[in-house]
Structure 1
Amino acid sequence: MQDTRIDGPELIARLKLQPHPEGGYFREVYRGDALVRRDGSEETHSASTAIYFLLCDGAYSSWHRIRSDELWHFYAGDPIHVHVIDAKGALTTLKLGNALLHDDAVFQAAVKAENWFVAECIDPSGIALVGCTVASGFEFSEFEFADSAALETLYPQHREFISRLAPR
């Protein structure tokens, strides 16, 4: 059951969202002015970034990872699952949603750097508006789509799950 009525096309237009390569729609809404260097690199990038992210029409965020921690924030709509596979192969599912309406949901959930993860509406016909804050800031050069076959080889216990949410 949807806790806040939202409309995908209206939000896409109102928030000026664009298709995201991993699925869904997004728009960067913040890129901090402070610059940082990662692990001795000479290259600098923003200390923090934030986006709106919309899942609707059966879209999901396919398996990927980034080099920074990512904090997910729930804004409106239906609850989502953020599925995370850590380096040891442990699968964790976080339920992001309105914690006032869904006992087992949280308003915020963190995904650690370098972990493989995906996000999907729990109800495939659902719609969810969330935000993602990345520190140090997100750069597409530090974004990696999963090679599904390689991920299934590394974590055969999650083969069917990995294949269902593979990059399109």
Structure 2
Amino acid sequence: MQLNSEALVTALNLEPHVEGGYYRRTYQADQQPLVETIGGPRYTMSSIYYLLTTDSPIGQFHLNRSDIMHYYHLGDAIEYSLIFPDGTLKTVVMGSDVLAGECLQLHVPGGIWKASRLMKGSTGFGLISEAVTPEFHFADMEMGDRKKLSEEFPEHEGLIEQLTRD
């Protein structure tokens, strides 16, 4: 069987993610004491698979309260756009070509606007994992509103338009 995005979605039992792409939670630290956060009690860590495909190539701008470590696995490279609270934009490419500057790991602190997009390549998919601490919880995530983000970061309006929904 050829490795393609449909095979990965099936093999890894992934489902559509609200920000785009596909995911499945693979771990939560439920054998550890919960930690108190502004959003309530959370596990100390959780982990997911996250897949972008040619059919769903964009992870829309969103903000998480928790820190996230991203780990590149396979497929085409994925470009991350990070907007910091002061408006600084950082672009990072995760992929296997480390000699060309692609990263195998990426840390995104909580409170940073983040979007991702699949770069053109030969496989039509990009697979990563994310470790989130404290655990990922949908209540701790804010989806980017195009109008609001463009008003807050007018210097990135074009990018925001590409990586948000209406």
Q: Which residue of 2 aligns with 1:112?
A: 109
Q: Which residue of 2 aligns with 1:79?
A: 77
**Helix, strand or coil: the match of 1:11?**
helix
Q: Deviations over 1:52-108 (max 9, x none)?
A: 0000024210010110111110000011111100000000011111145x5210100
Distance 2:97 2:68 in 1: 20
- Identity across the alignment (%): 29
Q: Deviations over 1:19-75 (max 9, x none)?
A: 001000000000112211125x7x311100000000002421001011011111000
Is the 2:76–2:121 Cα contact (8 Å) retained in structure 1?
A: no
Distance 1:93 1:83 in 2: 5
Q: Which residue of 2 aligns with 1:167?
A: 165
Q: Which residue of 2 aligns with 1:98?
A: 96
**Structure 2 unmatched ranges of 5 or more:** none
Please give the root-mean-square deviation of Cα atoms over the aligned residues, in Å: 1.7
Q: TM-score, normalised to structure 1's length? A: 0.90
More displaced stretch, 17-26 vs 57-66: 57-66
Is the 1:6–1:76 Cα contact (8 Å) retained in structure 2?
A: no
**Helix, strand or coil: the match of 2:100?**
coil
Q: Which residue of 2 aligns with 1:127?
A: 125
**Helix, strand or coil: the match of 2:161?**
helix
**Helix, strand or coil: the match of 1:10?**
helix
Distance 2:92 2:165 in 1: 20
Q: Which residue of 2 aligns with 1:38?
A: 37
Is the 2:74–2:96 Cα contact (8 Å) retained in structure 1?
A: yes
What amino acid is the match of 2:115? Answer: V
1:21 aligns with 2:18: yes
What amino acid is the match of 1:73? Answer: Y
1:10 aligns with 2:7: yes
**Helix, strand or coil: the match of 1:72?**
strand
More displaced stretch, 54-63 vs 124-133: 124-133
What amino acid is the match of 1:29? Answer: T
1:152 aligns with 2:150: yes
Q: Which residue of 2 aligns with 1:52?
A: 49
**Structure 1 unmatched ranges of 5 or more:** none
How far 1:124 sits from its partner (Å)?
A: 7.7
The runs of at least 4 consecutive aligned structure 1 residues that moved more than 6 Å come to none
